[in-house]
Amino acid sequence: MEILLDAENQIETWQEVTLVYNAALKQINTRLEILNDEFQHVHQYNPIEHIKSRIKTSESIVKKLKRHGYESTIENMVKYVNDIAGVRIICSFTSDIYRIAEMIRLQSDIHVIAVKDYIRVPKPSGYKSYHMLVTVPVFLSDRTVDVKVEIQIRTVAMDFWASLEHKINYKFEGNAPAHVKEELVECSRMVSDLDSRMQHLNEEIKALSAEKGE
C-alpha cells in the first residue's frame, strides 16, 4: 500500500516544488478532460468551456508569505500557500459550476480540504466564483506526495468580470477610486443578471427540444 506523505516534509527545493505541483496540475487537467468527455458521451453536452492552469511564481509566493508574517522557506511555501498550483474551470452556466464541483468531489483519490462559495455569498467587491482546495496524490519513483491544488470554477461572464477586477487592482495597487469600485459592484450585479437569464433561456430551449423529441 502506498503511503501518502505530507508535502511540506518531503519537498526541499524550488525545483521539487515546480516538479510536484506541475505533476499535480497535469493530473487534475487530465481528470477534468476525461470527466468532460464522459459527460459529453452520456448527456451530449460539455459543461466545461475551457481550463486554465498555472504555477504561482516564486516572487508571488514570497510576497504572500511576507504579507502573512511567514519566513520565506520552502516548507512554509508548501504549508501555508494553498494556491501554488491553480486551476480555473470556465463553464457556460451557473448550474454547470455545481455539477463540475460534484464530479470532482466524487473522485476517490481527490480529497476536498475546503470550499468557498463566492457565488451564493459574493465578496464585497462583487467577486463571484466557486473555490475548492483539494489534494491530489503525485506518484514519484520513490514516494507518493499529497499536493494541494486550488480549483476555481466560474462562468464565462464571471471570469470576464474577475479579469477586469484583477487589472484594476493591479493598476491601482489595490486602492482603486471609490467610483471605480462602485461601478465594479454594479457590473457584478449585471453579470449575475446575465447568468441568470442565460440559465433560464438554456433551460427553456432544453424543455422545448424535449417536447419535440430532439
Q: Is position 150 annotated as part of the catalytic site?
A: yes
> Which strand (E) or helix (H) includes residue 143?
none
Cell numbers at residue 169, please?
487592482
- Of 150, 173, 204, 214, the active-site residue reads 150
From the list 2, 24, 27, 1, the residue with the least C-alpha distance to 11 is 24
From the list 206, 191, 133, the residue with the least C-alpha distance to 161 is 191
Q: For the chain, count helices (H), then strands (E).
A: 6, 6
Rounded CA separation 70/85 (Å) = 19
For residues 184 and 126, is the Cβ–Cβ distance under 8 A?
yes
Query: Measured between alpha carbons, how far is residue 142 from residues 3, 13, 137, 212 in Å?
Result: 11, 17, 13, 58
Residues marked as catalytic: 150
